Amino acid sequence: MINRIFAIMLVLSVIFGAASGNMGQVCDAALNSCVEAVDLFLYLLGGMCMWGGLMRIAEKAGITDMLSELFKPLLKHIFKELDLNGMAFRAICMNITANLLGLGNAATPLGLEAMRRLEQEEHPGGTTSRNMIMFIVLNTASITLIPTTAASLRIRHGSAAPMEILPCVLFTSACALAAGLISAAALDNISKRRKPK
């Protein structure tokens, strides 16, 4: 679907550029955007590698176990009937930590690992379990304490105060997370009531 949207946008750009006599600007914009995209990718890659490596070091050093203990009192109410000493819970904690640090890209492989572990532990048989849904909500609408990626992009584009967005990021991410979890819990309760006994 995304490929089709991009293809339509590209075709429309060429058509309108040719019709308005601005084909040269369209070509320049296409070439410059390609260079900027590669440059941005390389700029962000270093930070992703560093934080991904730190996450692995934290896992080997036992910091993930400490984080698991720290998150247990809160997460046991969200992930009901999940083994709090299992690998799925540890992967969830690592994902939450990456999201708290604003490392959405580094959180992605950790999120995939957590989903794989949840599938192994809960054996949903091809269906999505309640804990999987809650984790998707928690991962997608996560609270960000340090918007690292956003701050890096702001620095890259010349911001004098890259962290000034922090209060807005905290407020909006907390609201999004609360709305997501409440909606997921409410829909889960409705689904349970509709199931035949």
DSSP 161: -
pLDDT in tens, the chain (197 residues): 778 887 888 788 888 888 888 878 877 777 777 777 787 777 777 766 776 677 678 778 877 677 777 878 888 888 887 888 888 888 888 888 777 776 666 677 878 888 888 888 876 666 778 888 888 888 888 777 777 777 777 887 788 888 888 888 888 888 988 898 898 888 888 877 776 65
Q: Hey, what are 46's tokens?
A: 């270093």
Q: Hey, what are 159's tokens?
A: 């911001």
Task: Considering only CA atoms, give the Rg of the chain.
Answer: 21
Classify the C-alpha dihedral 77-80-86-89 as positive or negative: negative
Cα–Cα dist 94/88, whole Å: 10
Q: What is the pTM of this model?
A: 0.64
Cα–Cα dist 98/156, whole Å: 21
